[in-house]
Amino acid sequence: MKKIIAILLLASTIYAGGIFSVGDKNFGFSVGSSSGYGNTYTVVGINANYFVTDNLSVGAGYTGWFGDDPKINEISIPVTYYMPTESTYKPYAGVIYRHTFIDEPYEDHDVYGARVGVAIVTGSNSFMSIGWVQEYYDNGQDGSDSRGYPEISAGFTF
C-alpha cells in the first residue's frame, strides 16, 4: 500500500459514565478521505472502548474504505492508558493492532502501532485529545513500511 494521507472530517466520541473510570464505555465514529493503491476512498469507521480499570481502556473497531477498488475493510484492537494526574491534562499512551482485509490480487496484512498524546478535560463531562499515531505494517507487496499521523478527538459524558 502506498503512503496513506488521512483527512479527518468528523470525529465524535460519546461517553456513558465518568471520564476514564472503570466501567466507562466509549463509542465513536469517524469519516475521512484516504488514498491507496492509486485510488481515493471515503473512509468510515466505528469503534467502542471499555475501561477495564481506572484509566485503562480496551476497544474494538471497524473501518470500511468505500468508493473504489480494491475493497478494503479493517478491524482494530486499541489499548490505551491515561496517566492519572490532578491536572486537567491527562497524557496517554497506547498500542494498536489492526488487520486489513483486501480483495485479490492483494494480500491481507497486519498493522502494529503505538499512540501518544494528551487528553484535556474541558469540563465536568467533556474532554478533547490530540496525539500522534505511529504504525508499522507488512503489506505483502513492498515489505515492511511505516507511517505516522496526528489524531484529534472530542468526548462528552452524560
Asked if residue 100 belongs to a domain, the reply is yes
Q: Distance between CA 82 and CA 66 in Å, rounded? A: 33
Asked if residue 144 belongs to a domain, the reply is yes
Asked if residue 148 belongs to a domain, the reply is yes
Q: Distance between CA 28 and CA 24 in Å, rounded? A: 13
| Domains contained in the chain, number | 1
Q: Distance between CA 15 and CA 20 in Å, rounded? A: 10
pLDDT of residue 117: 97
**Residue 128 parent element (H or E):** strand 126-138
Q: Distance between CA 121 and CA 111 in Å, rounded? A: 30
Residue with cell 485529545: 129
pLDDT of residue 17: 45
Per-residue pLDDT of the chain (158 residues; tens, 9 = 90+): 333 333 222 233 444 445 788 888 878 888 999 888 889 999 999 999 899 999 999 999 999 999 999 999 999 999 999 999 888 999 999 999 999 999 988 889 899 999 999 999 888 767 889 999 999 986 555 556 888 999 988 776 54
Q: Distance between CA 115 and CA 94 in Å, rounded? A: 5
126 close to 157: Cβ distance less than 8 angstroms: yes
Asked if residue 146 belongs to a domain, the reply is yes
Q: Distance between CA 110 and CA 144 in Å, rounded? A: 10
In DSSP terms, which residues pair with 57 in a beta bridge?
A: 51, 80
Asked if residue 1 belongs to a domain, the reply is no
**Residues spanned by the domain of 54:** 7-157
Find all residues with CB under 8 Å of 4, minimum gap 6, and list them: 34, 35, 36, 147
Q: Distance between CA 18 and CA 62 in Å, rounded? A: 25
The CATH number covering residue 114 comes to: 2.40.160.20
Asked if residue 121 belongs to a domain, the reply is yes
Asked if residue 2 belongs to a domain, the reply is no
pTM over 0.85: no
